Structures are given as structure tokens and as C-alpha cells.
Structure 1
Amino acid sequence: MKHTRAMATLARSWRLLRSFRFEQTRPEIFYGGLARDTAQLADALLRDHGLSLPGSLVLDVGGGPGYFAQAFAQRGARYVGLEPDAGEMAAAGIELAGAVRGDGTRLPFADSTFDFTYSSNVVEHIARPWDMAAEMLRVTKPGGLVLISYTVWLGPFGGHETGLWQHYIGGEFARDRYTRTHGHPPKNVFGQSLFAVSASEGLHWARTHCASLCFPRYHPRWAWWVVRVPILREFLTSNLVIVARA
């Protein structure tokens, strides 16, 4: 996995972590940078598996605004985005010719359609994430890649905008405290659009589906070992990446 490891530097980790503070106030900074990083990661992973991103048919499950479409198009991929929320599709003011509205747990595509299928920070926002993962495998061509990247609940960003520590007391506490403080509910409402998903759940799915690689997305490569340590990985793996071959 030399290409994937080569991009996992401390400078990249610092850049991505710093961008989190702009998620609510300047989404073009946060999502634009995340989209470019996702496309670069996809390119590295595909090359490490003897595949190529340019010319590939890519499905983004839950891609939201058009930042990801732009990033993948710039790398020569044919991009299709699926999003259940029409408001998210229009949030960036970008028209997406390849956008589809649909449910990630019941993808409206035939078996073996895409070369590369991925979801970035979607698992923690749906009640049945592993149903979505199974669907992603179904619509990917044999030999193609599936990438799942999600925020681990007990990591520092598990509560999303509700705070860095409040979710350790409980999702309901964090949600209600945010509502009292700001006068309105958070964008990510615990129990409705935000769920507690552990690193162990993802690693169990990875083992049962013979995943080729699991690592903490925002860590430099010399810190990837944290995913191998029970309990510790729940707190230190802020975002888990699972790569599986269809």
C-alpha cells in the first residue's frame, strides 16, 4: 500500500484536523478540502490495488454538495453522487448532472455497476449503516473497490458540532445541551441523524467481508497501529477507513 501510506503524512493530518472548525461557518473550506483529500485517497488506493481512477465509474453514497463531484472530475473519474436529501444536493449552489436522489441502504443501481464505490462520513448518520455497506459491495464490479470512512463515536469528533466532550456523557445530553446553548437543535441530531457507531463494529464488518485495509484516516502512517488496540482505538481513531474488494 505504498501510495496510500505515502500520502498519510503529519502535515496532511494537521491540515485536515484544522479544517474541522470551518464545517459550520465556511463549509467550502471544510468540504472542499475533504473532497480533494478523498479523491487523492481513492487514487492512491486504486493504484495500490492495480487499478486506476481516471476513466473509472465512481459512486459516492451520501456525497452531499458538489465539492466531491468536482474533485473526482478533476482526476478524470466519471462521478455519480447519491444523496437522500435534495437540500444537501443544492447546498453548494452547484448543478450536478450525475446526481441521484435515493436511499443508501437500497441503492437504485444494478449489481456490478461501479468500479469504485465509497462513502465519506455517512455511516454515523444512518440507523442501519452495514445494510448500506452490503449494498455498496453489491453495486461494485468484481475486483473493484469499496471504501467506507466514518467518524467513530468515542473519538473526539464523535459528537460533531455538539462538542468535544459532551457526547462522552451521552448523545442525548450533548444534543440537549447544544439546543439550550444555541437556541436551536444541532444539525446532527442524536438518535435521528447521528448515531453511536464504534470502531469495533466497522472492524467486525471488515473481517467478515475480507477487507484489505483498515486504518485511521486522519492519522499519519506511523500512528496506524492504534486500530489494532482494543478500547484505545475507540478513543484515538477519530475516523476509521475500511477498504474492501468486491
Structure 2
Amino acid sequence: MVKRYVYAIVTLLTLVIVGGCQQTDIDEPGTGQNTQTNPNQQTSDNSMTDSHDEADDPSDSQDKHSANNNENKLNQEDNAVEEETENSDRVNDQQTKASNSERMNVSINKQEFKNAQTAVDEMDSYREIKQTNLDLGHGIKGFSEGATGHHYISWNEGNWLIQVNFPSDPQYAIDNYQSGEELAKSVVDRLEKIYLPAPEQRGVIKINGFSDNAETIVRWQEGNIVYAVKEQTSNPIAILNYIANEF
């Protein structure tokens, strides 16, 4: 009887000791799954930290501010260039109109003939310059000849015959020109920059460079019509500009 009680007590103590050991293994801090870190949670925390650092980085904010300032500056410069160009164009237009102010006194005569051949025959002073001895620039060659008190220069451009009659003595010449050659080269240079109406078959320009009888006559044929401009002027270039703007 006593042996049974002893055996029961020993068995009970054994169970208590074993159970206590198992309890200790499970709850001991620093071991097993109680000390394991959640990788997903760590990644999320790092992402939040990086996002916070990026948002708060003052250098990034300064770079963006500087970039915006540079872009605004470039836009302002572009606008300034466009405005300057527009102003320049307006000034050029005003200068062109001012230079053509003489045309208020210019009249154009329009004469109709029964047919084109009759209109061509009316331009009887036209001729082709085959012999040349003077370089007028821009690939244009002219013929220069003298007479008593006169210097004549003639040349062709397209269907135009152009003639300059200039005094041999510059004191009798119109202002701004010292010789017939200088005037002729100025005309050639101007005709490189403007567009006169193209005669259908014939056109004639005559420029008198004598100050007491300064005159510019321009005539050209289109079909059965002959147009003519005749002006007493010491500025033949202005007449050419006028015709180029009117036609």
C-alpha cells in the first residue's frame, strides 16, 4: 500500500518537472519565433523612411527651383527676341513707306494699242547692247561712251534697256553721284534688290543725271498696253522703288 503511494507521488513530481521544463523552453525570450523579425514590416518601414528622406531633401527642392527659374528666364529671352524682331520689321516697313513718299506726285500713264505688235513698235528706242566695255557689278556688263559734255552708259537686264546720260563735269550733276558710272552701278545694285515688272518684249529706262534737267523715264510693254512713268527728279532710285511697289 505504501509503495503505491510513493510510486504515485514520484510519478506526479516527474510530470510536474517535465511540464515546467517545456513551459520554460516555450516562453524563454530571445529564442524561437518570438525573436524573429517580420521582413515585410521591415521593407515597409524602409520604404517609408526613404520616401520621407526624399521628400525632405532640400537639395532636390533647390534643383527644381533653379530649373524653373532657368526655364522662365529662357522664355523671357525668347519673348524679348520675338518682340525685337517684330519691332524691327515695323521699323523697316515704316522706313520703306517713308522712302516711297515721293510717289504721291508720281503718275503712271497707261496707253492701249490695237494689238501687241503695235505696242512693241511703240518702244522704238529699245535695242540690245551687244558690245560692252564696262563692268557694272552683279555680272552686268554695259557700254560706256562719251560725247561733248556727256557720258552715256547703256546696258540690258532681261527685256529692259537702261540708259544713263550724265554730265562729264560733276558740278552739273545731280546730288550724291560723282560720275555716270557711279550712278549706273547704283541702279544695277538697286535692281538686284527689287523687282520691276517684266516687260513682255520690251522695256526702256532713261535716266538724265544733269541737275538742271534731272529726269527719269520708265516705259514697258505688256500685251497691247504700254505703261509709262515720267518724273522730273534727281532721285531715280526712288522712282524705281515706286514702280517695284506698285506692280
TM-score of the two chains, using structure 2 as the length reference: 0.19
Structure with larger Rg: 2
Instruction: Select the structure that is richer in helix.
Output: 2
